[in-house]
Amino acid sequence: MTALKLYNSLTRAKDAFAPIDPRDVRMYVCGPTVYDRAHIGNARPVIVFDLLFRLLRHVYGESHVAYVRNITDVDDKINARAAERGITIRQLTDETAKGFHEDVAALGCLRPTAEPRATEFICRGAGELDMVKLVERLIERGHAYEADGHVLFDVASMPAYGRLARRTLDEMEAGARVEVASYKKGPMDFVLWKPSKADEPAWDSPWGRGRPGWHLECSAMSAALLGEVFDIHGGGIDLIFPHHENEIAQSTCCFGTETMANVWLHNGFLQVEGEKMSKSLGNFVTIRDVLADWPGDIARLAMFSAHYRQPINWTLKSLQEAERTLGQWFDAAAEGAEPRPAPGVVDALADDLNTPRMIAEIHRLKAEGGRKALAGTLGFLGFRPDVFEDWRAARAPKAGLPREEIERLIDARIEARREKNFAEADRIRDELLAGGVVLKDGAAGTSWEVAR
């Protein structure tokens, strides 16, 4: 079996990966809060963990990987946006979740094995784990307290708090912009449950009608769907503190476990043309904006150009380069091959998802003329020749030739050159040029591109 190594934020080391159950892997990734279109920074964890999902399925078998990515559909930003637009919360969250699914499907991402909505895990039937029961247990075990209609997690009750973020309570208190509230025992104590006003969504609870705090949902959904302790937990680096630290606090104190997940993976941040993306800077790019100009496959490859833990600079240049690279790969790949990664690509990915090395491996495959291995690898990675071709065809000059005809002519030209019939070879080259196709003869054979 492939030896997989992953950089674990908990140990700060690249560790050999071994699932708790040797035959089945369980992974949880924090998903979107559905109040607005996802931006291209949000696409990074989706694409990175899709790649890991594909690798795990390759190593452990398709039916042996559970991948849960939640949908946060209870949040004050959602309430505010629905009110602003004059639609119901459900209309807003349904519409936004649908748009998110369209966006990430266009980026070549598989659906996770489960996509629970937070609102479905607040109050469930007897015997079913939910957020209310989790809070009850935390109170029983002395890790949470009720104050002024709220329930708060008592950070001082947990000596290991801060282990993931590697910060002491004193450091956190000094650095954090925490909400000061008279009912809190300690300044870092965070909300598990809060009361709702009449116009806010509310669920019945032992502490009155209210709604859960954000961190609670991931503890409840991951435990309900993956168990009290599971293998991999992922998200962007900004989630380490406080979100993931608080998830760990809730889960381990509720279940009396040592840890919540064994391996914590965090992707680095995406910047746009070298600057932090923000609405005020006017460089805020949604996934939809990117897809208006580029096929999802090109955006996907551009996302792989940096290692997932490093920051990535999202630039026009990187998209243009991905376009060129992917075009060359598809032109050199066989058609109709089964999705299957070449061993060198698996090795690169098994090394903490080393995508720059993966790209170098694919270039090598192409240079070696492994047309089938190349096609199989691209298919495994979620690249779709038809999507790319449709886009390229739409941009092709009007007199453009169909792809099959181009390939037939290229083969005929190779044959003519083999027979030293250079006049015929040149005639074919001119015929292709008239059709808007430029040939490039290289060491690895002949490739082509559309004349601009």
Binding residues vs ligand AMP (CB under 6 A)? 30, 32-33, 41-42, 44-45, 235-236, 238-239, 267, 269-270, 277
Among 4-12, 26-34, 46-54, 269-277, the segment contacting Zn ion (CB under 5 A):
26-34
C-alpha triplet 298, 330, 267: angle, nearest 5°: 35
Type of residue numbered 171: E
Nearest-angstrom CA–CA distance, 431 and 233 = 55
Q: Which does 370 bind (CB under 5 to 8 A by kind): ligand AMP, Zn ion, none?
A: none
Asked if residue 218 belongs to a known ligand binding site, the reply is yes
Nearest-angstrom CA–CA distance, 90 and 102 = 18
The three-state secondary structure class of 129 is: coil
Asked if residue 243 belongs to a known ligand binding site, the reply is yes
Number of other residues whose CB lies within 10 A of the CB of residue 345: 28
The residues pairing with 276 across neighbouring beta strands, listed in sequence order, are: 271
Nearer to ligand AMP, 19 or 32 (CB): 32
Number of residue whose CB is nearest ligand AMP: 236
CB of 414 to Zn ion, least distance (A): 55
State yes or no: residue 265 binds Zn ion (CB under 5 A).
no
Nearest-angstrom CA–CA distance, 10 and 163 = 7
Nearer to ligand AMP, 210 or 236 (CB): 236
Nearer to ligand AMP, 45 or 341 (CB): 45
Q: Which does 99 bind (CB under 5 to 8 A by kind): ligand AMP, Zn ion, none?
A: none
Locate 330 and state its tokens: 């598809």
Q: Which does 41 bind (CB under 5 to 8 A by kind): Zn ion, ligand AMP, none?
A: ligand AMP
Asked if residue 279 belongs to a known ligand binding site, the reply is yes
State yes or no: residue 30 binds Zn ion (CB under 5 A).
yes
Q: In what order do the strands lie in the sheet with 25-29?
A: 65-69, 25-29, 230-236, 261-267
CB of 381 to ligand AMP, least distance (A): 20
CB of 377 to ligand AMP, least distance (A): 26
Among 13-21, 23-31, 340-348, 358-366, the segment contacting Zn ion (CB under 5 A):
23-31
Q: Is 400 exposed, middle or buried (0-12, 13-18, 19+ CB in 10 A)?
A: middle
Nearest-angstrom CA–CA distance, 268 and 47 = 13
CB of 247 to Zn ion, least distance (A): 6
Q: Which does 204 bind (CB under 5 to 8 A by kind): Zn ion, ligand AMP, none?
A: none
351 phi and psi, to 5 degrees?
A: -90, 75
Task: Tell me 114's DSSP state.
Answer: B
Among 29-37, 124-132, 333-341, 393-401, the segment contacting Zn ion (CB under 5 A):
29-37
CB of 165 to ligand AMP, least distance (A): 14
Q: How many helices (H) and strands (E) does the chain have?
A: 16, 15
Segment 206-235, which members bind Zn ion (CB under 5 A)?
A: 218
CB of 415 to ligand AMP, least distance (A): 50
CB of 136 to Zn ion, least distance (A): 21
Nearer to Zn ion, 210 or 236 (CB): 236
Number of other residues whose CB lies within 10 A of the CB of residue 22: 10
Q: Which does 218 bind (CB under 5 to 8 A by kind): ligand AMP, Zn ion, none?
A: Zn ion
Reply yes or no: is the peptide bond before residue 242 cis, omega within 30 of 0.
yes
Q: Which does 236 bind (CB under 5 to 8 A by kind): Zn ion, ligand AMP, none?
A: ligand AMP
Nearest-angstrom CA–CA distance, 120 and 130 = 9
**What is the b/e burial string over 104-133, where b = at least 16 CB atoms within 10 angstroms of the residue's CB?**
bebbbbeebeebbbbbebbeeeeeebbbbb
Residue positions in the annotated binding site for Zn(2+)? 30, 218, 243, 247
As annotated, the binding site includes 30, 218, 243, 247, 279
Binding residues for ATP: 279
Site residues for Zn ion per CB under 5 A: 30, 218
